[in-house]
């Protein structure tokens, strides 16, 4: 059977400047107001994607004591329009001392690099650039 590659979310307006994103599994995510802005969601998507990849590798060796990924960048406006520049992803991972922790610390850099270079669909899409087609339906 062919793999289903199609992904989608629906974003519905709930009030002025406030939206609710829904996925096919029933998950919801508020957007706007005091919740996440679309730019913050982009940063969160990059961080969440690469964190997931690296966490799988680390957690197979040992349960992390702490695991935080910070994603930042500069929102600019110029003749090309609005966009983000200087995107940076920073991992702060603490694992227990001992052989399992040592192994996790050893494999973490490779896991992060593999996520960045091949696995994280979100950051790969941003880095490679993908056209966005917009339509209006009645």
pLDDT tens figures, 48-98: 999 999 999 999 999 999 999 999 999 999 999 999 999 999 999 999 999
| Highest CATH level, class, for 37-128 | alpha beta
pLDDT tens figures, 17-29: 999 999 999 999 9
The full set of domain ranges for the chain reads 7-36, 37-128
CB-side exposure of 119: number of CA atoms within 13 Å?
A: 17
Q: Quick check: 2 pLDDT over 80? A: no
CA distances from 41 to 1, 45, 81 (A): 33, 6, 19
Q: Quick check: 30 pLDDT over 80? A: yes
Q: Give 31 or 3, the one with higher predicted confidence.
A: 31
What are the DSSP calls for 64-90, one per residue?
A: -SEEEEEEEEEEEEETTEEEEEEEEEE
Average pLDDT, the chain: 96
d(CA 78, CA 99): 51
């Amino acid at each position: 059977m062919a793999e289903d590659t199609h992904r989608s979310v629906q974003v519905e307006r709930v009030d002025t400047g406030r939206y609710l994103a829904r996925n096919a599994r029933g998950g919801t995510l508020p957007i706007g107001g005091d919740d996440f802005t679309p730019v913050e969601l982009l940063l969160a998507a990059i961080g969440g994607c690469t964190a997931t990849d690296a966490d799988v590798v680390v957690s197979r060796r040992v349960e992390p004591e702490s695991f935080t990924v910070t994603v930042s960048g500069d929102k600019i406006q110029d003749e090309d329009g609005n966009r983000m520049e200087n995107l940076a992803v920073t991992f702060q991972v603490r694992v227990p001392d001992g052989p399992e922790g040592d192994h996790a610390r050893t494999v973490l850099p490779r896991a992060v690099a593999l996520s960045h270079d091949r696995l994280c669909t979100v950051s790969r899409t941003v880095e490679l650039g993908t056209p966005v087609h917009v339509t209006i339906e009645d």
